[in-house]
A and B are shown apart, each in its own frame.
Chain A
């Protein structure tokens, strides 16, 4: 694959043009990556609204009917419910790992089993998230297609 980057101060914003014979899986991955950069979620912190790029999000977690967005810097509140988020981010590198959480699989460093039949995913910012065994097959499938 050939990559050409053209830098010019006259361009108002980055413009990605893909030239290809057909849209292959590889091209689809590029499209998803570009979309992920553009897709932003509204997070609320101290009453202020912030627009968080999807690629910066580590995981979404639901605690007592409230949804939170975890990034490397902060934890934001979110107006959407977890099942709504799941629909919104379908096709991106996010996977449901339990009833309470959706994790960005690109941020997972490794996973390890626990004696209670669950798994624990360690993220690259040091946070950990429980993976229910019910979702392990989906997680593996997502890693294989990443």
Chain B
């Protein structure tokens, strides 16, 4: 059972992550989607609201994952997830899921969930390789001692 301070810390991390991701998405959208020349003109409040809707729905995925498995939340608030958010946002933009309607949010939520599983598998594969490398060193050290 996690204590209240830890839960509070994770919630703070999640909120911080959401705003950081929002900032990243705004920057990426401004410079890569809208184009540098007419970026300022097209950056309307409605557009920013749509970006925020995307970030909010992805953050909701984080809370959903936290609800299923508390440990996954640690990974959900990591840098991998922020990177993934940018990819999901771009994906949603290109395929027309970009919007603040309930349908759009549900679609983004599903895509985020799938992307999270991919990130989870990628991280696990990376960790598996790292653990193998460390185990090799442990084995080598023990062999040397024998």
Chain A interface residues (CB < 8 Å from chain B): 108-119, 133, 136, 139-140, 143-144, 146
Contact = CB atoms under 8 A, between A and B. Distances in A.
Contacts of B133: 140
B74 A116 contact: yes
B-side interface size class: 10 to 19
13 contacts: A111-B134, A113-B124, A113-B130, A113-B131, A116-B69, A116-B71, A117-B74, A117-B127, A119-B131, A140-B130, A140-B133, A143-B138, A144-B137
Interface string B54-82: 00000000000000010110110010000
Contacts of B110: none
Nearest to B135: A110
A7 B78 CA distance: 58
Interface of B: 69, 71-72, 74-75, 78, 120, 123-124, 127-128, 130-131, 133-135, 137-138, 141
Give the interface SS of chain A, mostly helix, strand, loop or mixed.
Answer: mixed
Contacts of A108: 138
Which 5 pairs of residues, A with B, have the shortest CB-CB distance? A113-B127, A116-B71, A117-B75, A143-B137, A110-B135
